[in-house]
Amino acid sequence: MGWKDAIEGKPGDLVLLNGNEAIARGAYEAGVRYASSYPGSPSSEITETLSRVPASDLYAEWSVNEIVSLEGATAASFAGLRAMCTMKADGLNVAFDFLTSMNLGGCKGGLVLTVADDPQGHSSVKEYDSRYLAKSAMVPVLEPSTVKEAREMAIKAFDISEQIKGPVLLRSVTRVSHSRGLVRLGALAQERKKAEFPVGQRFLTKTLFHMKARDRLIQAAIIFEECKFNYTEGPDRADTVIFCCGTSLLYAREAINILGLQGKIKLVKIGTTFPLPERFILSNLQGVKNVIFAEEIRSFIEEGVMLIYARHNIGNIRFYGKISGDISGVRGPFCGEMNPDIIIKAIARVKRIQYEAPGYSPETIVEFSTMLPPREYAMCPGCPHRASFWAVKTAIAVDSRDCIVAGDIGCYCLGAWDTGYNLFDSLHCMGAGPGIASGLSKLEKFGLKRPTLTIVGDSTFYHAVIPGLINGRYSGSDFLCIVLDNSVTAMTGHQPHPGSGISNHGRSTTAIPIEEIVRGLGIPCAITDPFENDKTAETISSTLREPGVKVLILRRECALVAARKHQHKKQRVYVDQSLCRGESCGCGRFCTSVWGCPGNIWDPVAGKAVIDEAVCAGCGVCATLCPAGAIIAEEVDK
Amino acid sequence: MKDPINMVITGVGGQGNILVSEILAKAASVEGFRVTVGESYGMSQRGGSVSSHIRLSRNCLYGPIIPAGHVDIIVGFEPVEAARIALELGSPNVKIIVNPRPVFPVHVLMGKCEYPPIEDLLDKIKGITAQTLIIESTVLAAQVGDPVVQNIIMVGALAGSGYMPIPRETFEEIITRVVPQKALELNQKAFKIGFETAQNINRS
């Protein structure tokens, strides 16, 4: 319960927080009054934590999408208040149009845009380096290395933003956001600023203001030269220097220790990654022979430092990084996340030393690991998406025109893989499905005869689907849009959305039902329960045959939310093994090998199906699908 | 005592990794260690592997990823996941505490790959570790009253194993602090049984 310590902890307390909670605490200490976000891993805990601040002190909002979120936070800045807007890297694209406009004219109260990148894509479909977008938007970047520094940087970012009168981007990565460490809490800001928007104060965008944005960067560069977030470790002089930022500082430190090179290699830690502190960097290039770069995702510092080198006469230096291919994990340079072993390998090469990690022989590893089955992602037991996907699969088979399925982003992106019956033919970003379906449906006259269907989520619907539907109807496209409505933004930790009818602070608000929006657009809309699987499949199948844009909402609460609410499952599901025909049934072990729910397992001794009751959520959908009627779903008391 | 102490808690989404790493980190900080916990739980709700790297040191702050070969202790809530971490980060010096109850991956359920026979798997794990403690934590948790406290049984087993320089009382104090009041008695019982089971194991 890190949020409790982050919000209720007293100044001086030493508490265990994750990076996101530390950022939230920093913002709280800095007197943030407006916190908005669209949820996205690994960033979500920041606004979740700030939502626990008493509503009298702070306005917190799960916005409909990232651009609206940033616009709202910027409005608070215009009124002189401190504001933080948070998103994952993918969201920065959505907010980018406004960011690049707003940053020209600038803002007033401290405005911190916290963006969490996800190197390795632990919970993303892409690994994205937001620093290049920040550079393109001419927004300064701070990059914390530890949980402790995340808090400090959040505070400092507000100060810098007010000094330069423009936004500051705080770049986190998964290994900061989702690491935990001990943080000493500071005091909360005492000053209570009033929101003011004086008559005559204007915030406009003009091409000429490009100069203002440039001058702000020059100002930031001066501030960064003297900034405590840039420092060196190790000897004053060394022929080999590692430039690092983010958690790579810790990896580099450990790599030097493991190789026994303490005192022989200098670490140059950069916390202000854009604009780079040029004088500080130059002073650490003098007399150096080898430079190694350690940073997450792309070669941002590497390029910056090499450019500084090229502009000055410093003598011969060899650079080892992603561009040279020396900083490279199992996926090769530029791909995947950093770790200590990548840096150990690079240092060993530069220093020409042999390093063999303790471990096992390659033969042992190969022999043993072939025994270990991979663990693919699976939808939870009782997940309504599984039932929805099964109904879609059934309907497409009945339709027999090889329907193309355009997918979208959420838990249900698993529709692209085995657990979702490999249904998706395309999978990109939020809202891409309806646009792609609409475009495909226009290609009939050029020979494409396959009908199109797109599957989107409920939170995605509000975030990015509505323009695609309007476009589809206006342009006379033909596609079916299926909305999987599980009542929350499930993938990122069950945040509410406009259909949920709950605010960040837990108060009830007026829900905006999806069907009202769809019907308001003049698009026909039906609603079914995916647990009534046959009926749902029939509805999909008949709707697919109708012309124009159609929406079908498959509505059923997320299984995890339902379990939390109801505590006990409502049905007991079990296999009557006297009815199960086992391998001789002809169903091909449907419940285990096709349906793919973790609750349906095989009893190898009896050669029959069985339910893992410790795992089963009691939805009973498999009972309706078993051809032998051997799975029994029984109502239980409470 | 070795410094740093590197530990991995591993299992499958939903088995309660995060609470366990919180308890361990807090207990270690009470004992004066500098603590870093690196977690990967982005897709944990989707039945994926979940592991937490826990790094304890009296000297300096370590990063959230343990270098290959440097893990000292693995606590595995699931045997295949424990083996996977051992191969990735372990060495013949590693000690493992493992719950032998399989959680079948979806591809195993679908018949696309096989889950190894559990005895073979455990033998292999024993073969690559300095010591392996098998704790039937799911079974014990059910006996205590709720399979959910499997994770706290494992915390008890870790405390009882003596692998960590953290006294029993510190663990108990942290559990009292982090577990909700209504579930406290159940969790305390789970911890005790885990502790005693590990203490009574014949470690030949």
Query: What are the φ/ψ torsions at residue A267 (nearest 5 degrees)?
Result: -100, 130
pLDDT for A29 equals: 98
User: Which percentage of chain A shows pLDDT scores above 70?
Assistant: 99
Find the helix or strand (DSSP H, E) in which A171 lies.
strand A168-173
- The predicted model gives B15-22 an average pLDDT of 92
pLDDT for A139 equals: 98
pLDDT for A352 equals: 96
Q: Is B84 in Cβ contact with A373 (below 8 Å)?
A: no
pLDDT for A638 equals: 52
Residue of A41, A368, A375 with shortest CB distance to B105:
A375
Query: What are the φ/ψ torsions at residue A351 (nearest 5 degrees)?
Result: -90, 0
The domains found in chain A, sorted by start residue, are 2-189+206-225 (3.40.50.970), 231-350 (3.40.50.920), 384-564 (3.40.50.970), 569-635 (3.30.70.20)
Cα dihedral B139→B142→B147→B150 (10° resolution): -50
Tokens of A171: 């770049």
pLDDT for B43 equals: 59
Structure confidence at residue B46 as a pLDDT band (50, 70, 90): low
Over residues A557-594, the pLDDT tens digits come to 999 888 888 766 678 999 999 999 999 999 999 999 89
Residue located via tokens 């609750």? A599
A-chain CB neighbours of B14 within 8 Å are: 380
Q: Say if residue B183's pLDDT is above 80.
A: yes
User: Which percentage of chain B shows pLDDT scores above 90?
Assistant: 82
pLDDT for A6 equals: 97
Q: What span, in angstroms and rounded, lies between the C-alpha atoms of A112 and B182? A: 40
Structure confidence at residue A615 as a pLDDT band (50, 70, 90): confident
Geometric angle at alpha carbon B79, from B77 and B84, rounded to 5° = 105
Over residues A301-357, the pLDDT tens digits come to 999 999 999 999 899 999 999 999 999 999 999 999 999 999 999 999 999 999 999
Structure confidence at residue A390 as a pLDDT band (50, 70, 90): very high
pLDDT for A345 equals: 97
Residue type, B39: E
Q: Say if residue A511's pLDDT is above 90.
A: yes
pLDDT for A607 equals: 93
A419 to chain B, any CB pair closer than 8 A? The answer is yes
Q: Quick one: A96 exposed, middle or buried, by C-beta within 10 A (0-12, 13-18, 19+)?
A: middle
Q: Say if residue A600's pLDDT is above 70.
A: yes
Over residues B98-150, the pLDDT tens digits come to 999 999 888 898 888 999 999 999 999 999 999 999 999 999 999 999 888 99
Higher pLDDT, B15 or B8: B8
Lowest mean pLDDT among A163-172, A442-451, A568-577: A568-577
Structure confidence at residue B177 as a pLDDT band (50, 70, 90): very high
pLDDT for B202 equals: 80
Lowest mean pLDDT among A108-117, A275-284, B98-107: B98-107
Question: Which residue of chain B comes nearest to A559, CA vs CA?
Answer: B45
Q: Say if residue A405's pLDDT is above 70.
A: yes
CB contact at 8 A, A158 and A82: yes
Q: Say if residue A505's pLDDT is above 60.
A: yes
B-chain CB neighbours of A374 within 8 Å are: 105, 107, 113
Closest CA to A357 of A344, A369, A370, A368: A344
Q: Is B38 in Cβ contact with A175 (below 8 Å)?
A: yes
A329 to chain B, any CB pair closer than 8 A? The answer is no
Residue of A1, A41, A592 with shortest CB distance to B109:
A592
Tokens of B37: 């916990």
Question: Which residue of chain A comes nearest to B94, CA vs CA?
Answer: A359
Cα dihedral A140→A145→A147→A152 (10° resolution): -40
Q: What span, in angstroms and rounded, lies between the C-alpha atoms of A233 and A461? A: 49
Which residue in B20, B35, B62, B65 has the most chain A C-beta atoms within 10 A of its own C-beta, making it the best mutation to test that interface? B65
pLDDT for B40 equals: 78
pLDDT for A77 equals: 98
**Cβ count near A280 (within 10 Å):** 18
Kindly give, in sequence order, each residue whose CB lies less than 8 Å from that of residue A16, ignoring residues fewer than 6 positions away. A2, A5, A180, A181, A182, A183, B22, B25, B26, B29, B35, B37
- The predicted model gives A356-377 an average pLDDT of 94
Residue of A178, A180, A368 with shortest CB distance to B124:
A368
Q: Is B36 in Cβ contact with A181 (below 8 Å)?
A: yes
Residue located via tokens 């911190």? A112
- The predicted model gives A124-142 an average pLDDT of 96
Tokens of A487: 């009542």
Which residue in A20, A145, A368, A603 has the most chain B C-beta atoms within 10 A of its own C-beta, making it the best mutation to test that interface? A368
Q: What span, in angstroms and rounded, lies between the C-alpha atoms of B122 and B118? A: 6
The domains found in chain B, sorted by start residue, are 5-200 (3.40.920.10)
Residues written for chain A:
638
- The predicted model gives A7-14 an average pLDDT of 96
Q: For residue B199, give how far its alpha carbon lies from the nearest alpha carbon of chain A (Å).
A: 28
Query: What are the φ/ψ torsions at residue A397 (nearest 5 degrees)?
Result: -65, -40
Structure confidence at residue A632 as a pLDDT band (50, 70, 90): very high
Over residues A206-248, the pLDDT tens digits come to 999 999 999 999 999 999 999 999 999 999 999 999 999 999 9
pLDDT for A208 equals: 95
Closest CA to A74 of A42, A39, A117, A104: A104
Q: Is A1 in Cβ contact with B110 (below 8 Å)?
A: no
Q: What is the mean pLDDT of chain B?
A: 94
ipTM of the complex in this document = 0.96
Q: For residue B19, give how far its alpha carbon lies from the nearest alpha carbon of chain A (Å).
A: 9
Residue located via tokens 């299926």? A482
Structure confidence at residue B7 as a pLDDT band (50, 70, 90): very high
- The predicted model gives B47-52 an average pLDDT of 87
Q: How many CB pairs under 8 A join A and B?
A: 186
Residue located via tokens 């002809």? A586
